[in-house]
Amino acid sequence: MRVLLTGHQGYLGTVMAPVLAAAGHEVVGLDAGLFADCVLGLPPADPAGHRVDLRDITAEHVAGVDAVIHLAALSNDPLGALAPDLTYDINHHASVRLARLARDAGVRRFLYASTCSVYGAAGGDDLVGEDAPLRPVTPYAESKVRVEDDLHALADGDFSPVFMRNATAFGYSPRLRADIVLNNLVGHALLSGEVLVLSDGTPWRPLVHAADIARAFAAALVAPREAVHDRAFNIGSETNNVTVAEIAEQVAEAVSGARVVITGENGADPRSYRVDFARFRTAMVEGPGFDCEWTVKQGALELADAYREHGLTREGFERRFTRLAVLRAASEAGTVDETLRWRR
C-alpha cells in the first residue's frame, strides 16, 4: 500500500515509518517538522515526505494514497492547555478536513491516533472498555473525542476510519519525548538519582511501548475491513495497566542507585483509567494477529541504556525533548508565529 503517514517526524512516527516500510508499504510522510531536530542518537532516515502544516494541505497531498495513518497533532495535555484554540484548530478541524480530502480522493482506510485519555476521569479499578463513557478532562483529550465523532459520521462503504486509542507511550525513539511518564521518570532518575513523582502516585496510567503501537497500526492497516471498519480499539496490554507509583518502582529497579520520591505536591490526578485491551487482540485474530511485546520494566531498562549511550543532558531533558519547551522556545525566538506556523 501507499501509506500517507502524518506526524512522521514525531516520537511515534519516527518509530512507525520503518515498521511500515519493513512490512512492504510505500510510506510518504507529512509533517510540519516542529520537532524534527529533537533527536537523541543517530539522525533517523525519514521516508520521503511533505513538509507542510496540516491546516494547509490540499487534495494533492492525498492523491494516489491507499491509506492514511494520522498521527500529526499537538500531542499532549500541556500543549492543549497552552493553546486550547490551536489544539482544536490542528487536532480537530484540520484532522477532519484531512479525512474529508482523503475520502474524496478514494482513500479506503484511515487510522486515527486517538488516546486512552478520552476516558479521562473514569476512576475506580474496573477495566474500561471501548464502549465506556468518554470523560475527557483536557482540551487535548476533548479534541480527540471530537475527531472520533466526526470521522464516524464520514464512514461509509468505501471509507473506513479506525480509532486507535493508544495508552501512554514509552520507550526509545530517535526523536525522543521526555514529557511522557516513563521516559520522564527514567531521565530524571539518571540525572538526579531520584525517581520524582509529583502526584500522589495513585492514578492508573496504562502504558504501551512505541514499537508496539507501530506494530498495532501495521496490523490494523491490513486487517480485514469488517474487523476494523468504524471501530474504536484500545491499544496496549493489561500487563502494563500500572499506577504511577508502580511505574516509579520499576524505574528505580532499572536505574541502580535511584530512589523513589513521591512528593504528592500536585495532589491526586483526575486522569485515572485502567483499560481493557482485549478487543484489538480479538479483532486481529482473523488477520495478522497482535499482542504487545514490551513490559514497563523492559522499557525502563532500554531507555536507561539509550540515555546513557547517547548522553542525555539536563538541557536535552528539560528543553529539547519536552514538547511544550520546544514550542515556547521557537515562539520566543520568532521562528514560529502565534499560530505555530513557521515564519518564512
What values do phi and psi take at 119, rounded to 5? Answer: -80, -20
- Kindly give, in sequence order, each residue whose CB lies less than 8 Å from that of residue 118, ignoring residues fewer than 6 positions away: 134, 136, 141, 144, 145, 148, 165
Check binding of 166 to ligand NAD (CB under 6 A). Answer: yes
In the set 40, 83, 107, 115, which binds ligand NAD (CB under 6 A)?
A: 115
Grid cell listed for 211: 514499537
> Measured at the alpha carbon of residue 119, what is the angle toward residues 10 and 72, in degrees to the nearest 5?
20
Cell 465506556 maps to which residue?
A: 132
Rounded CA-CA distance 55/59 in Å is 12
Q: Please state the closest distance from residue 166 (CB atom) to ligand NAD, in A.
A: 4
d(CA 65, CA 159): 13
C-beta of residue 102 within 8 angstroms of C-beta of residue 157: no
Q: Which is nearer to ligand NAD, 74 or 134 (CB)?
A: 74
Region of 49-57, 125-133, 238-246, 251-259 interacting with ligand NAD (CB under 6 A): 49-57
Which residue of 169, 195, 216, 306 would you call a contact of ligand NAD, by CB under 6 A? 169
- Who's near 313: CB < 8 A, 6+ residues apart? none
CA-nearest of 43, 14, 38 to 171 is: 14
Q: Distance (Å, rounded) from C-alpha 166 to C-alpha 164? A: 6
Q: Check residue 61 for interaction with ligand NAD (CB under 6 A).
A: no
Applying CB under 6 A, the site for ligand NAD has a residue count of 28
Is 203 a residue that touches ligand NAD (CB under 6 A)?
no
Query: Which residue, chain included where needed, has cell 472520533?
Result: 148
Nearer CB in complex with ligand NAD: 261/269: 269
Tell me: does residue 336 bind ligand NAD (CB under 6 A).
no
177 binds ligand NAD (CB under 6 A): yes
Q: Residues 23, 41, 55, 262: which binds ligand NAD (CB under 6 A)?
A: 55
219 binds ligand NAD (CB under 6 A): no
Residues in region 66-95 near ligand NAD by CB under 6 A: 71-75, 90
9: contact with ligand NAD by CB under 6 A: yes
Hey, what's the cell of 323?
514538547
Regarding 34 and contact with ligand NAD (CB under 6 A), the answer is yes
- The residues binding ligand NAD (CB under 6 A) are 7, 9-13, 31-35, 53-55, 71-75, 90, 113, 115, 166, 168-169, 177, 180, 323
